């Protein structure tokens, strides 16, 4: 989601307000003056953010040196005005204000960019260059046409040839090598801005936006991960054993880790694409959504209509006509684009769009439901003051569409006419297993991305150790290792979009937890009483009303209050996720015991070595 993934990173709560020449008054400020300041900030912010969004839309859907430059210029203008106003807002420090106004000032100050115009311009240009390097990245197989990340990822999903997987993995990771030369400077410039505005480093600023202290936030995510780590280790052990049964020595390692190229995803972040390998032959999944889509001749536009119809079924409006006219649904043949799926709010009102390169498969069907969740959230809070037009926190924004996608159950597919009858209860385990390989397998990856960056920001990880430290964290948290030796000539973090595009990643970890909390709350509102994992809220206006109320609040109050109004819980809570997967948890443990498989792995002494 562009407006809250990219802009919340560089611009956080971009406050644009009074003209630069305005001088602080010698008299103590009044609440009326503070309100006038914020009113002007909201109006100016709307204008400059729209210009920035338009520039970035063109830059990502038509990548050239010129569009990168125009996007960088738009960033520079926005960031420069933001800095002016964050500084000007200090005049109101200590003033007693109504709670809503005080919150707008709080969000306004969550910024940190260099105030020196030359440094600010340099940072914007480097950011645009990194984004463009990823978008233009190509893997060129010997004797074949070069391909972008969308095609590369299809190979990782579908190929069962370990050599092809290895070659593709190595080839794609090469696109990040040029980023290494400019990445340290980009991080340095962000730190300089954060320190100018009172933060120790940029990572601390990122952690400051959660209505708790940065330290409390770090402790909170670690606490929840510890709740779910035993389940992850059981899943890891089971998947590892099945991969060894499929690939033999290619998958077998003495340290118990899994080679990263065998998990059906370029970054080994989600494993559901290898469900055919992992699911026992006597309990195969009863259907494949991709095959069902192909059989129905569903194109990209048709997939998006399925997603829209879900939201309409629970009481949300149809998407605006401009959504269909301006979105990118497939990869153009005539130019480079960023195919990484994202949802856009171009005018902070109703000009919402998606930028995707869709294929008729299970992953992209889920992606459609996810991205539209962003768009409906964006439209729901459009009547809030501009500084409140955001998710309750960034994890909420990522969780909305995923909570809806949890309703892609057999019940939903039968309602759509995809299947004629409900699968028997014996099919529950393969369905849950596939879901766990998508949701649970992601958790350590979702955590380590920003743990790596936080340590880069605070200086714990030096540029000379970027790649070594990256793999040390991946081995520690994921139990996943590179399939070939890696050195500091490589820059494997940059092969992931969110590193190149500088998008904070902890939101995705949070979303994996929140979505189950939201889903359980909607299921309860719909009157559903069966096993949680079988629930679909498709067609439930009661569930839709509950969701719509939460979305309309935007960021107008602390997320803990918004969460409690939705779920009855005021903290990040793994109990809904644990409840959802409980039958699978028992089954995995039984399978591992029966097959003599021990969960866990040993971290290599030298993380640069694959073997």
Min mean pLDDT across 165-174, 233-242, 417-426, 496-505 is at 417-426
Task: Give me the pLDDT at residue 482, please.
Answer: 97
Is residue 288 a part of any domain in this protein? no
Mean pLDDT, to the nearest integer, of 327-355?
A: 93
Mean pLDDT, to the nearest integer, of 3-15?
A: 38
pLDDT class of 7 with cuts at 50, 70, 90? very low
Q: Is 340 a catalytic residue?
A: yes
Is residue 440 a part of any domain in this protein? no
Active-site choice (300, 436, 498, 576): 498
Interval 354-386: pLDDT, tens = 999 999 998 899 999 999 999 999 999 999 999
| Whole-prediction pTM | 0.89
Q: By residue range, what is the domain housing residue 93?
A: 2-136+173-199
Q: Are 111 and 41 in contact (CB under 8 A)?
A: no
- Average pLDDT value over all residues in the chain: 92
First-to-last alpha carbon distance for the chain, in angstroms, is 38
- In whole angstroms, what is the distance from residue 543 CA to residue 522 CA? 5
- In whole angstroms, what is the distance from residue 194 CA to residue 204 CA? 8
Interval 222-266: pLDDT, tens = 999 999 999 999 999 999 999 999 999 999 999 999 999 999 999
Q: Is 371 a catalytic residue?
A: yes
22 has pLDDT over 60:
no
Active-site choice (173, 236, 370, 397): 370
Q: Is 374 a catalytic residue?
A: yes
Active-site choice (341, 472, 543, 553): 341
Is residue 114 a part of any domain in this protein? yes
Is residue 64 a part of any domain in this protein? yes
Q: Is 134 a catalytic residue?
A: no
Among candidate residues 120, 187, 176, 125, the one with its CA nearest the CA of residue 453: 187
Q: How many domains does the chain have?
A: 1
Active-site choice (374, 381, 475, 576): 374
Q: Is 498 a catalytic residue?
A: yes
Active-site choice (208, 371, 397, 412): 371
Q: How far is CA 415 from CA 316, 400, 422, 539, in A?
A: 18, 22, 10, 10
Q: Is 548 a catalytic residue?
A: no
The pair of three-digit structure tokens given for residue 585, joined into one six-digit string: 């948890």
Q: Is 589 a catalytic residue?
A: no
What DSSP assignment string belongs to 252-307? --TT--EEGGGSSSTTSS--GGGHHHHS-GGG--S--HHHHHHHTT--HHHHHHHH
Is residue 191 a part of any domain in this protein? yes
Q: Is 508 a catalytic residue?
A: yes
Interval 402-459: pLDDT, tens = 999 999 999 999 999 999 999 888 789 999 999 999 999 999 999 999 999 999 999 9
Is residue 104 a part of any domain in this protein? yes
Is residue 127 a part of any domain in this protein? yes
What DSSP assignment string belongs to 115-168? SSHHHHHHHHHHHHHHHHHHHT--B--TTS--B-HHHHHHHHHH---HHHHHHH
Is residue 85 a part of any domain in this protein? yes
């Amino acid at each position: 989601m562009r407006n809250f993934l990219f802009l919340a990173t560089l611009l956080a709560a971009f406050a644009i307000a009074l003209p630069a020449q305005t001088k602080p008054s010698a008299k103590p400020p009044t609440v009326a003056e503070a309100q006038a300041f914020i009113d002007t900030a909201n109006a100016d912010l709307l204008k400059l953010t729209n210009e920035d969004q338009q520039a970035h839309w063109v830059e990502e859907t038509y990548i050239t040196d010129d569009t990168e430059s125009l996007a960088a210029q738009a960033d520079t203008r926005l960031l420069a005005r933001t800095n002016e106003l964050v500084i000007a807002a200090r005049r109101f420090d200590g003033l007693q204000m109504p709670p809503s106004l005080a919150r707008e000032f709080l969000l306004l100050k969550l910024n940190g960019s260099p105030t020196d115009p030359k440094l600010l311009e340099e940072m914007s240009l480097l950011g645009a260059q990194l984004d463009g390097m990823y978008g233009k990245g190509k893997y060129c197989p010997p004797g074949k046409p070069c391909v972008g990340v969308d095609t590369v990822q299809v190979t990782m999903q579908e190929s069962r040839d370990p050599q092809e997987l290895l070659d593709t993995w190595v080839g794609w990771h090469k696109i990040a090598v040029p980023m290494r030369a400019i990445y340290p400077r980009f991080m340095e410039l962000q730190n300089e801005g954060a320190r100018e505005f009172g933060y120790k480093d940029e990572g601390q600023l990122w952690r400051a936006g959660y209505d708790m202290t940065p330290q409390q936030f770090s402790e909170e995510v670690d606490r929840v991960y510890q709740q779910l780590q035993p389940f992850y280790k059981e899943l890891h052990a089971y998947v590892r054993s099945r991969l060894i049964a499929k690939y033999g020595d290619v998958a077998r390692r003495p340290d118990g880790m899994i080679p990263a190229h065998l998990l059906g995803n370029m970054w080994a972040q989600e494993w559901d694409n290898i469900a055919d390998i992992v699911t026992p032959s006597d309990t195969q999944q009863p259907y494949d959504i991709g095959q069902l889509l192909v059989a129905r001749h569903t194109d990209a536009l048709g997939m998006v209509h399925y997603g829209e119809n879900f939201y309409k079924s629970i009481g949300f409006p149809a998407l605006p006509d401009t959504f269909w006219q301006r979105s990118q649904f497939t990869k153009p043949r005539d130019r480079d684009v960023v195919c990484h799926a994202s949802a856009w709010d171009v005018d902070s009102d109703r000009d919402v769009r998606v930028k995707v390169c869709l294929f008729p498969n299970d992953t992209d069907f889920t992606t459609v439901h996810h991205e539209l969740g962003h768009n409906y959230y964006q439209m729901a809070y459009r009547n809030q003051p501009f500084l409140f037009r955001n998710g309750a926190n960034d994890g909420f924004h990522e969780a909305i569409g995923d909570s809806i996608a949890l309703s892609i159950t057999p019940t939903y597919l039968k309602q759509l006419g995809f299947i004629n009858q409900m699968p028997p209860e014996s099919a529950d385990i393969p369905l849950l297993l596939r879901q766990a390989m998508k949701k649970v397998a992601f958790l350590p990856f979702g955590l380590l991305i920003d743990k790596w960056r936080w340590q880069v920001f605070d200086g714990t990880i030096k540029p000379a150790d970027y790649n070594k430290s990256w793999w040390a964290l991946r081995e520690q948290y994921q139990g996943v290792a590179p399939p070939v030796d890696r050195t500091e000539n490589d820059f494997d973090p940059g092969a992931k979009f969110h590193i190149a595009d500088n998008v904070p990643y902890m939101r995705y970890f949070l979303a994996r937890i929140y979505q189950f909390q939201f889903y359980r709350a909607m299921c309860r509102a719909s009157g559903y009483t069966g096993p949680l994992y079988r629930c679909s809220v498709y067609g439930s206006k009661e569930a839709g009303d509950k969701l719509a109320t939460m979305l309309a609040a935007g960021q107008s109050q602390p997320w803990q209050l918004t969460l409690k109004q939705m779920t009855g819980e005021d903290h990040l809570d793994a109990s809904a996720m644990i409840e959802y997967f409980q039958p699978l948890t028992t089954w995995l443990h039984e399978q591992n015991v029966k097959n003599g498989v021990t969960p866990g792995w040993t971290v290599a002494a030298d993380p640069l070595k694959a073997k």
